[in-house]
């Protein structure tokens, strides 16, 4: 695999060039800098056929062999983390150090996932029989990935799916396909042909995949609106689905926090990746006793940090990733201004490219759009509260339920609040944490199913129950 060669898809272990190309734009300049293949329905058919052909051989391998392949892939990615990172910054926008960080983290994640085991559950072991539940691969998996964490979130699907004995067709976002295409090339060395196929294309490719009868499962990460379409399409032939969707995560700041000690971390948890993080803090509820102090501290951080081209030294935060998202976030800002909301902004940003100043909104009404919608951009509403029961109710009053956080000087008190939050994950005095051994799931409209940990691995399997008699003859 070479980073200097044209971008190609991987179908059946070989290069595939698609039908025409799509332009890939660098969000720091707003200009195209590379081209990726555009797959059509025939390319998709070829990828699914290759995955189906490779399935019997791959699932029949001892799990140790599949583990070995994953460890090899992990090492190869880690060895090329800098090259992947540079490409990542060009296509996604994130500052280089953090881009390399995502690649290294993904390499770690694959290796860690390879240590998981598929259990055989014994539900009865009596004098007459033994009942064993095995976990068989679900089959051919479609992995559909968004643009905000294009590498790590692909790995969250690829590693467990492969370990469990499935084969895949991976589709990155049309905005960020390049690292995934190179990943497909890199993996050829470690996997039999057809086990992992990577195809890129335009908006039409996702719906073609979810409707394709050759898939047994769709593993999807993206917006709630698209997730609903995926589920509807998958329902036609009852494909299994895992949907990791949007969030509008609340963090609750209790009055006993040490503002100076926590401000930097709270800021980072809201604005990392220019706030294009599903589990970013998107509503910050601050007790009135510490509201002014924390607001001023956060505003000082916003004025200190630099928003700029991620490939340039000194850029702490990058651009928004794509033009539609940029226009959407600018629209939210314009609306907030028109409503007379108080915006506390950070330093000026470059004029060219999809840059937006880091923005705090000073205590807007709860019903304003900047509070109610997932902005997925650097606009953080700060919301004042005085009563704990009332703020928990406000935090939970959302169609989403992905993650949340509680910040307090008293851990027990914070845990008691965390237990009342209606989200799949709650952090105490921290944020943005995940591990390969910990299930990650959204409640309400933040998703269906689980990624990561043993429950995430089992989502790529189908239970198969064996009733085994203890005597050799059939019994009545």
Closest CA to 91 of 39, 172, 10, 33: 33
- Toward ligand NAD, which CB reaches closer, 89 or 276? 276
Annotated catalytic residue, options 244, 374, 451, 459: 244
Minimum distance of ligand NAD from residue 159's CB (angstroms): 15
Are 409 and 259 contacting, i.e. CB atoms less than 8 angstroms apart?
Answer: no
Among 163, 230, 270, 320, binds ligand NAD (CB under 6 A): 230
> Taking CB under 6 A as the rule, does residue 246 contact ligand NAD?
yes
CA–CA distance, 414 with 358 (Å, rounded to integer): 28
Closest CA to 284 of 242, 317, 253: 253
Minimum distance of ligand NAD from residue 127's CB (angstroms): 47
> Taking CB under 6 A as the rule, does residue 200 contact ligand NAD?
no
Listed ranges 8-16, 23-31, 171-179, 296-304: which one lies at the site for ligand NAD (CB under 6 A): 171-179
Alpha-carbon distance values, 49 to 42, 169, 253, 290, 320 (Å): 10, 10, 52, 60, 37
Are 386 and 336 contacting, i.e. CB atoms less than 8 angstroms apart?
Answer: no
Task: Give Cα 236 distance to the centre of its chain.
Answer: 26
Minimum distance of ligand NAD from residue 226's CB (angstroms): 3
Among 26, 210, 273, 431, binds ligand NAD (CB under 6 A): 210
Q: How many residues touch ligand NAD (CB under 6 A)? A: 29
Minimum distance of ligand NAD from residue 82's CB (angstroms): 24
> Taking CB under 6 A as the rule, does residue 310 contact ligand NAD?
no
Site for ligand NAD in 374-403 (CB under 6 A): 374, 376, 402
Minimum distance of ligand NAD from residue 150's CB (angstroms): 9
What are the backbone dihedrals phi and psi of residue 221, each rounded to the nearest 5 degrees, phi first? Answer: -125, 130
Annotated catalytic residue, options 102, 278, 374, 459: 278
> Taking CB under 6 A as the rule, does residue 39 contact ligand NAD?
no
Please say if 244 is a catalytic residue.
yes
Minimum distance of ligand NAD from residue 158's CB (angstroms): 14
> Taking CB under 6 A as the rule, does residue 424 contact ligand NAD?
no
Are 179 and 84 contacting, i.e. CB atoms less than 8 angstroms apart?
Answer: yes
Question: DSSP readout, 301-342?
Answer: HHHHS-B--TTSTT-SB---SSHHHHHHHHHHHHHHHHTTPP
Please say if 278 is a catalytic residue.
yes
CA–CA distance, 232 with 215 (Å, rounded to integer): 15
Site for ligand NAD in 130-169 (CB under 6 A): 144-149, 153
Residue 219: partners with Cβ closer than 8 Å, 6 or more residues away: 141, 142, 143, 144, 157, 161, 241, 242, 451, 459, 460
CA–CA distance, 245 with 445 (Å, rounded to integer): 7
Report the catalytic residues: 244, 278
Report the interface residues with ligand NAD, using CB under 6 A.
144-149, 153, 171, 173-174, 206-207, 210, 221-223, 226, 229-230, 244-247, 278, 374, 376, 402, 442, 447
């Amino acid at each position: 695999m070479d980073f200097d060669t044209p971008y190609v898809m991987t179908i059946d272990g070989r290069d595939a060039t698609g039908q025409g190309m799509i332009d890939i734009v660098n969000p720091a300049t707003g200009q195209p800098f590379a081209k990726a293949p555009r797959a059509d329905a025939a390319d998709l058919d070829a990828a699914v056929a290759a995955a189906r052909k490779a399935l019997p051989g791959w699932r029949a391998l001892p799990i140790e062999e599949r583990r070995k392949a994953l460890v090899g892939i992990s090492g190869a990615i880690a060895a090329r983390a800098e090259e992947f990172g540079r490409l990542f910054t060009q296509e996604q926008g994130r500052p280089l150090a953090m881009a390399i960080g995502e690649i290294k983290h993904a390499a770690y994640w694959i290796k860690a996932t390879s240590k998981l085991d598929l259990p055989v559950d014994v539900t009865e072991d009596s004098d007459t029989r033994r009942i064993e539940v095995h976990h068989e691969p679900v089959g051919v998996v479609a992995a559909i990935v968004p643009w905000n964490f294009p590498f790590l979130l692909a790995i969250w699907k690829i590693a467990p799916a492969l370990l469990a004995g499935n084969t895949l067709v991976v589709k990155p976002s049309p905005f960020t396909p390049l690292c995934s295409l190179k990943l497909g090339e890199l993996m050829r060395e470690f996997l039999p042909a057809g086990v992992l196929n990577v195809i890129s294309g335009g908006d039409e490719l996702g719906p073609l995949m979810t409707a394709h009868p050759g898939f047994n499962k769709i593993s999807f990460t993206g917006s709630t609106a698209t997730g609903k379409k995926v589920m509807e399409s998958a329902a036609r032939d009852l494909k299994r689905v895992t949907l990791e969707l949007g969030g509008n995560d609340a963090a609750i700041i209790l009055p006993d926090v040490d503002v100076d000690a926590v401000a930097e971390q709270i800021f980072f948890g809201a604005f990392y990746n220019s706030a294009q993080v599903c589990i970013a803090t998107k509503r910050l509820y601050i007790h009135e006793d510490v509201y002014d102090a924390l607001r001023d501290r956060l505003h000082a951080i916003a004025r200190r940090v630099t928003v700029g081209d991620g490939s340039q030294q000194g850029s702490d935060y990058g651009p928004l990733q794509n033009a539609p998202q940029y226009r959407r976030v600018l629209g939210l800002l314009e609306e907030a201004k028109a409503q007379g909301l108080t915006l506390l902004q950070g330093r000026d940003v470059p004029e060219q490219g999809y840059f937006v100043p880091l923005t705090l909104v000073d205590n807007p009404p709860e019903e304003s759009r900047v509070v109610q919608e997932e902005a997925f951009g650097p606009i953080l509403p700060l919301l004042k509260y005085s009563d704990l029961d009332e703020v928990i109710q406000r935090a939970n009053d959302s169609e989403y339920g992905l993650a949340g956080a509680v910040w307090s000087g008293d851990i027990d008190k914070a845990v008691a609040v965390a237990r009342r939050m209606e989200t799949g994950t709650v952090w105490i005095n921290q944020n943005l944490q995940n591990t390969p051994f910990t299930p990650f799931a959204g409640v309400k409209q933040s998703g269906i199913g689980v990624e990561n940990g043993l429950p995430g691995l089992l989502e790529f399997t189908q239970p198969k129950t064996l009733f085994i008699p203890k005597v050799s003859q059939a019994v009545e």
